[in-house]
Amino acid sequence: MLVSQTPVEITVEAADYLQALGLQAELDEVIEKLPEVFPELLRIECEYDPGIEDESDPTFVINTWLAADGPTDPTPLSRWLPWMLERFPSEVWRHLCVVHWHEVPDHARA
Amino acid sequence: MRGRDFLDTARRLCAMNSESDWRSAISRAYSGFLLEWRDALKRWGFKIAPRMAHSDVYQHLRSGSTTDLKQLATRFQNLSSKRNRADNDLSSHRSFASSRDALDTVMDAKDGIILLDAIEADPVRLAQAIADIRAAFP
């Protein structure tokens, strides 16, 4: 059961892909863990990525939106990798790609 | 020229002031990482098809079971996804309103290249990585 209060959006295409992969439990675990690793987490948006070059590497992308005033070093990816790699085998993390973005406040936009 | 030289370009782009610069920085950072690893895999004796570098490099890295290779494969996957959005999705994306994520991406690509250098500087680690990939790509 999910206890995370972080808003989560999943596109229909991504939800279908996740169901085909059979990785709902793993996604739930990732969603539970993310706020622990990233106290500055604002929301999560999941989408399906067919792959960039030849569409041979489809991925369930978990876009995590972080507050811009969070720590800058190490990067979010370096903060996230140890847990993801320790917790799941390659059969899982190769399909669930966590990508970090920072929400830029309107007043700080270029 | 080496792939890592693209990271210098990416850093310069991060210091510019427009969305197209920051998107391009992400793209250059990804290319730097990809090309460094493509060339390393070739040095290690693996065949990487000239026009299939993205797929081939990723397949080779993700075939490994050592901590080094697992970390590299996930870094590659992450950089690739960011590059995909930066280059191909020109719809409004809140992240490209500042250089923050471009800077993170350059740092992540650099960390992946530092790891490559560390592996190649350690004969035991290098032999382990090659053997690990060789098991999947004889």
Counted domains in chain B: 1
Assess if residue A1 is contained within a domain. Answer: no
Indicate which CATH number applies to the domain containing B80: 1.20.120
Q: Is any Cβ of chain B less than 8 angstroms from the Cβ of A42? A: no
Q: Smallest Cα–Cα separation from A30: which of A101, A99, A107, A106?
A: A99
Taking an 8 Å cut-off on Cβ atoms, the answer to whether A85 and B71 are in contact is yes
Domain range for A97 = 8-103
The answer to whether position A66 is within a domain reads: yes
Q: Is A98 on the interface with B (CB under 8 A)?
A: yes
* Among B19, B95, B111, beta carbon nearest to A78: B111
Q: Does A91 reside within a domain?
A: yes
Decide if A59 is inside a domain: yes
Residues of A in contact with B81 (CB under 8 A): 49, 52, 59, 61, 97, 99
Print the domain residue range for B126: 5-136
Number of domains in chain A: 1
Flag whether the ipTM exceeds 0.85: yes
Between A58 and A53, the more confident residue is: A58
Q: How many Cβ contacts (< 8 angstroms) between chains A and B?
A: 91
* Residue A1: per-residue pLDDT: 44
User: Which of B17, B70, B78 is facing A99, going by the closest CB pair?
Assistant: B78
Q: State residue A45 phi and psi, 5-degree precision.
A: -130, 120
By the CB < 8 Å criterion, does A52 face chain B?
yes
Q: Exposed, middle or buried by CB within 10 Å (0-12, 13-18, 19+), for A61?
A: buried
Q: What is the token pair recorded at B23?
A: 């998107």
- Residue B102 pLDDT exceeds 50: yes
Residue A55 has pLDDT above 90, yes or no: no
pLDDT at A108: 61
